[in-house]
């Protein structure tokens, strides 16, 4: 696992990224954060109050697709073809390190996050729905959609797919070491960064895996 070099200057910044202000829209940064994950936290309103649910997502170009089959009422409503857009906020966060300063106040995380605001719309088109579901599977495990049975008509009918354009989005990230106050530098506390990253273990075959099927090359080695 890569570590955060302590010599790397600490930064805590927002990449201004409204697409309406193209000059400052750092598309590569936005895509990088979105493409590194597969679980987002989707916020919407229910009876006028905020609800935040973890959901699978995928990016296809400048569109995000989320699985709407959470059983929640607003998502079911937006899931009807022709209905109005559902105001949402889709947030993706990656934690890269625990930042331990000498002072409690300067404790922090190294992280990358993307926050996308907009209205989500139900996807009715068959081809777009199929492509979105493939993309969601491929976000979880790149290459997997081509090595599994595609959804049939009955399964497609049971799945709501929402589309959200990547238009109003901000990326925030922090990297580097702690930012202690100069007067704290002599305090007798350890200070530095503990790197953290998701690690994928040895694949565990299902009990009923047919004999002779090897672990695919797109999975971590056993």
Residues 97-156 that bind a copy of itself (CB under 8 A): 98, 100-105, 107, 109, 111, 113, 115, 117, 133-134, 136-137, 140-141, 144-145, 147-152, 155
The window from 22-30, 58-66, 75-83, 194-202 that contacts a copy of itself (CB under 8 A) reads 194-202
Q: Does 211 bind a copy of itself (CB under 8 A)?
A: no
Nearest residue to 161 via CA among 78, 95, 96: 78
Q: Residues 173, 112: contact at Cβ < 8 Å?
A: yes
Cα 26 from Cα 16, distance rounded (Å): 7
Radius of gyration of the chain (CA): 21
When the beta carbons of 28 and 194 are compared against a copy of itself, the nearer one is 194
The window from 22-30, 58-66, 76-84, 202-210 that contacts a copy of itself (CB under 8 A) reads 202-210
Coil, helix or strand at residue 170: strand
Instruction: Count residues binding a copy of itself (CB under 8 A).
Output: 93
Residues 44-103 that bind a copy of itself (CB under 8 A): 44-45, 48-54, 56, 87-91, 93, 95, 98, 100-103
In the complex, the smallest distance separating the C-beta of residue 111 from a copy of itself, rounded to whole angstroms, is 7
Q: Does 5 bind a copy of itself (CB under 8 A)?
A: yes
β-bridge partners, 212: none
**CB count, 10 Å around CB of 66?**
24
> At 183, phi and psi to the nearest 5?
-75, -10
Residues 7-36 that bind a copy of itself (CB under 8 A): 7
How does DSSP assign 16-59, residue by residue?
Answer: --BTTSGGG--HHHHHHHHHT-SEEEEEEEETTEEEEEEEEEEE
In the complex, the smallest distance separating the C-beta of residue 104 from a copy of itself, rounded to whole angstroms, is 5
Q: Residues 164, 44: contact at Cβ < 8 Å?
A: no
When the beta carbons of 25 and 191 are compared against a copy of itself, the nearer one is 191
In the complex, the smallest distance separating the C-beta of residue 126 from a copy of itself, rounded to whole angstroms, is 15
When the beta carbons of 61 and 211 are compared against a copy of itself, the nearer one is 211
């Amino acid at each position: 696992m890569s570590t955060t070099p302590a010599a790397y200057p600490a930064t805590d910044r927002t990449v201004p990224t409204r697409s309406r202000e193209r000059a400052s829209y750092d598309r590569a940064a936005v895509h990088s954060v979105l493409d590194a994950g597969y679980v987002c936290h989707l916020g919407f309103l229910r009876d006028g109050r905020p609800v935040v649910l973890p959901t699978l997502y995928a990016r296809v170009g400048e569109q995000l697709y989320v699985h709407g089959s959470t059983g929640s009422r607003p998502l079911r409503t937006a899931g009807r073809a022709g209905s109005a857009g559902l105001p949402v906020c889709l947030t993706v966060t990656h934690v890269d390190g625990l930042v331990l300063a000498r002072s409690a106040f300067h404790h922090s995380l190294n992280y990358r996050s993307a926050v996308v605001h907009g209205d989500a719309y139900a996807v009715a088109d068959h081809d777009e729905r199929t492509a979105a579901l493939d993309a969601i599977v491929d976000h979880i495990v790149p290459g997997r959609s081509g090595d599994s049975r595609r959804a049939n008509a009955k399964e497609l009918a049971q799945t709501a797919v929402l589309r959200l354009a990547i238009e109003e989005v901000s990326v925030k990230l922090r990297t580097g070491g702690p930012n202690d106050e100069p007067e704290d530098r002599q305090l007798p506390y350890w200070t530095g960064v503990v790197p953290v990253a998701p690690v994928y273990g040895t694949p565990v075959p299902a009990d009923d895996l047919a004999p002779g099927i090897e672990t695919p090359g797109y999975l971590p080695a056993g």
